[in-house]
Copies of this chain bind each other. A is one copy, B any other.
Amino acid sequence: MSCLKHLLLCAVAVCLVGGNFASAAQAQSQPAQPVPTTTREVPARLLPVPDTVSPQMQVIIAQPLSPTWNVVPGTVEEWKARVDKAASGVLAELPKIREALGVSVAPTTLAGVKAFIVTPRVIAPRNRDRVLLHFHGGFRVLYPGESGTREAILLAGLGGFKVISVDYRMPPDFPFPAALDDAVAVYRELLKTTKPKNIGVFGTSAGGSLVLTTMLRIKMENLPMPGAIAPSTPTADLTKTGDSLFTNEMIDNVLVSQDGFVRATITLYANGHDLKDPLVSPVYGDMHGFPPTILTSGTRDLYLSNTVRVHRKLRAAGVEAALQLWEGESHGQWNRDITAPETKEYNHEIARFFDLHLGR
């Protein structure tokens, strides 16, 4: 087997050098640093598309690795071009989604922060005095303006809630803590008209992390907690920490690795700030007193471990915290296709959790 091991390690080395792949694995493959005995080689393998998900989800899972995972903008102009391109992709599909789900979207301003009021055709009677606050995802950089409302439209339409989606400021113009300042300002403004227990806060990925950092700031500012929160696959640790960042590297076809574009967005957002500051990486924060929380991830999600770490941390702090996982799915794929049963089920689960825990 030692010949085989050698062959596999050679393959790894070729891949790392050829792919400009600056991971911990690369550091460990350099001859000056002996491989610790605790590091294990995992052989290459062929990964079939699971037949344990819907046909729509099989198509999504079958997609190749994102071709832009390691394409890093070099200038502010390149960043803005990337932002524009991603936004226009989403904007093109929004009218059809709004139409299909019977949801209307109107711009507004709350406490000086731009936002959108996202309203379903029918608000369930029990939800009449409730409102959900939404922080969109997108690596802390993507999806400004209306392009950030997609997830809010889905939960408004499938859950029957009124949603306020916050168009928080983002880098390259506005790095940390602008997004957090905006999120907290809108929450504070909302408290003037809505009981805190009647507010639910949700978001995915960077939006999920922003939900958690907003809770930490609410505690710091002695504001009342909302009734419940739903941070999905929160990027709660911006250091490369958490086992699935390694086990699901090159398996998650959305993010692929934390070492390419993801790392660049982290650097851009943190802007020199300590990545272990709980307001940047909320997994390091004190979560005592958090409201009931539902967390979501997928079995192939690069951020599976960080979702699990937040779940354990909440439970250890005595918080009522639920965890749901989606079979075979990479980062955020449970919301990808509004015709997929998984997308409906995901939004119904989040809506049910809010219904269970919010005041009326």
Q: Hey, which chain B residues are within 8 Å of A305, CB to CB?
A: 50, 52, 299, 327-328
A299: contacting residue among B46, B247, B315, B349, CB under 8 A: B247
Residue among A29, A48, A308, A326 with max Cβ neighbours from chain B (10 Å) = A48
- Asked if B299 contacts A50 (CB within 8 A), the reply is no
- Asked if A38 contacts B52 (CB within 8 A), the reply is no
CA distance A51 to B241 in the complex (A): 8
- Asked if B47 contacts A246 (CB within 8 A), the reply is yes
A349: contacting residue among B8, B304, B315, B328, CB under 8 A: B315
Integer count of this chain's copies in the complex: 2
CA distance A304 to B304 in the complex (A): 12
Q: A305-B299, A327-B309 are in contact. Are A46 and B52 (CB under 8 A)?
A: no
Q: Whole-angstrom distance from the CB of A52 to the nearest CB of chain B?
A: 6
- Asked if A64 contacts B51 (CB within 8 A), the reply is no
Instruction: State whether the Cβ of A316 lies closer than 8 Å to any Cβ in chain B.
Output: yes
Instruction: State whether the Cβ of A323 lies closer than 8 Å to any Cβ in chain B.
Output: yes
Q: A41-B47, A315-B349 are in contact. Are A325 and B328 (CB under 8 A)?
A: no
> Among residues 1 to 55 in chain A, which have CB atoms less than 8 Å away from a CB atom of chain B?
1, 4, 7-12, 14-15, 18, 24-25, 28-29, 35-52
A46: contacting residue among B35, B46, B300, CB under 8 A: B35
Q: Hey, which chain B residues are within 8 Å of A181, CB to CB?
A: none
Known: A311-B325, A323-B325, A325-B325. 19 other contacts (CB 8 A): A4-B18, A7-B7, A8-B11, A24-B48, A35-B46, A36-B48, A38-B49, A40-B46, A40-B47, A40-B65, A42-B46, A47-B247, A50-B243, A52-B305, A247-B248, A247-B300, A304-B325, A312-B324, A322-B323
* A–B complex contacts, Cβ < 8 Å, 6 sampled: A12-B43, A25-B46, A40-B47, A50-B243, A52-B241, A315-B324
